[in-house]
Structure 1
Amino acid sequence: MRFTPVSTLPRRLGALAGEIWPGLLLCVGIAALATAIGSVVPLVGSAIPAVIIGVIIAVIRRPAGRLAPGIGYSGKFVLQLAVALLGTQLSLASIVKVGAESLPVMLSSLAVCLIGAWLIGRALRIERDILTLIGVGTGICGASAIAAVSPIIKAKSHDISYAISTVFLFNILAVLIFPTIGHALGMTPHSFGLFAGTAVNDTSSVVAAASVFSTAALSFAVVVKLVRTLMIIPISVTLAVMEGRRNGDDERLTPRRVFTLIPWFLFGFLIMAGITSTGILPESVVSGANTVSVFLVATALAGIGLSTDLKAIRTAGLRPLMLGAILSFVVACTTLATMHVTGHI
């Protein structure tokens, strides 16, 4: 294994900063404007204004060139950093409790989604790779699940684009619709956190929807979502075995390979929660970390909004969009039904 010399680290960090700062600065500016809007209209928060402003700019003229690297950096790394920082709001004991509480709802919606993707996708005559990607994207964690599964099933780049575009569309709709559903059903922040964390597929949309509903729902929703993210591991392992048997080239699944399927920000979240569990962080630090994480979420959602590719969404065609719409609806209904049965509503 070849290691990069530590002596070159400052130069490499400087090069990275020089590459991302224009787009990152644009996202920070949008986040600042969205935060100002949220302070005037607390009900909408900063998440929805950030993504809407980003989408409007992308529709008028999608940023490219020097702005593109920083926008991509904001939509991915900044969001992951924000989620990791949210770990300061919970203890490890509360995470275990949340995981145990949400597991029946989570497993029910995931099972229904995956079975539905196979049955409905075949009925709509959608190609196997696309229906698999949309199924895991909707059932687990959006683009992250699609990215994890794509190399396993050897999906083509245009299939990946179709799936991500389709899932992204319903992410945006979930941010706009779910808080209204939660208020209409009289959900508590706790209940809505379970609802959003289970029924919304992408981390960014979970964070945005929970932020709009109430600040109290945010931490719980994120924990539910991160527990759900762990489903990437068994699903990826199962698909790898199935793909290997189908192609006759079953690749050995080592512990190291399984380990790489776990998103890094999940470890970051757990580390921050572990530090919080010790009680060494002053309340002012915990409160400050929450404020910073909320602003980082707005910055990330600005980047996601600016990355909107309407052409890719149109190219995805009607049938994958129909599959995404049906699965999103089915997952939401299954989640609400299971929550009702288990006494969470």
Structure 2
Amino acid sequence: MLVPALIREVFPKVFQVDLKPAGLEGFISSYIVAGEKAVIVEPGPSSTAGRLLSALEELSIPPAKVAYILVTHIHVDHAGASGFLLDELPEAKLAVFHRASKHMVDPAKLWESTKQVLGERAEVYGPYKPVPPGRILEVREGDSISAGSFKLEVIESPGHAYHHICYLMPSMKALFAGDAVGVRLPKADATVPTTPPPFRLDIELKTLDKLASLAPEHLCYTHFGAYPNAVEMILGYRRQLELWYSTVREMLGREASLDDMLGELERRDPVLSRFLESYPQEFIRQLIYASLTGMIWYAVREQQ
């Protein structure tokens, strides 16, 4: 069923769609590049597939004009809608990192692990639907995807997930960052880490240096929205990660609980307090706990 979409033009012919899972505004962005051929960047979860189809209709983009669906990684809030959308978009292919494509063809194990990690939140996002192998385009570093005059370059960006990639649009100097540069939500105007296990700080910091070296001017978050001053935001996130990790490692030596770590981080990082005040939902707190758990996971292995 088609549902109304919240659409904003962030660059000429590039539109941000607020997918509003369970009615929550300002949490998941999808982007539609409306060139001679259309491209969807980050289709989001299956529960919001109807909203994305509605956005295509509102933008007068016929289903057969969509050439590609691009995902930064296969977590359910980013890629869950892929199989459902491909049923409605007859010419589209799903671009996904080559080492993760098998999980989109057969997502059964991926969905089971998603339910274990997210609990009830997984059902809010909805399940995956298998993608036919012939509808998949496996991509890696150095590949580019063209849609008429628009080109998107594949940038491998492991850290949040081993298979994470970003997409650079040189013509707009815009980086579609997925979760590589954290979660930035508009009500708080603040960024927090998204570092679930298995997290590697050393790899993530190298990724952030790499992304900054590309000198993008605009940063397009999946969570949430497009912002200027991209390099400044990437380097700011790098500093925040180092602050959070040093705090977690210090408190791990005191056998502190997750709540203790969260309280200490609220004292050391004022951005976190603003974030939690603006988003009191329990699942947001769980997102923070997952990030702390990933940092603990890395700290324990670093000490071994």
Normalised to the residue count of structure 1, the TM-score between the two structures is 0.23
The higher-RCO structure (CA 8 Å, 6+ apart) is 1
- If the length of structure 2 is used for normalisation, what is the TM-score? 0.25
Q: Would you tell me which structure has more strand in proportion to its own residues?
A: 2
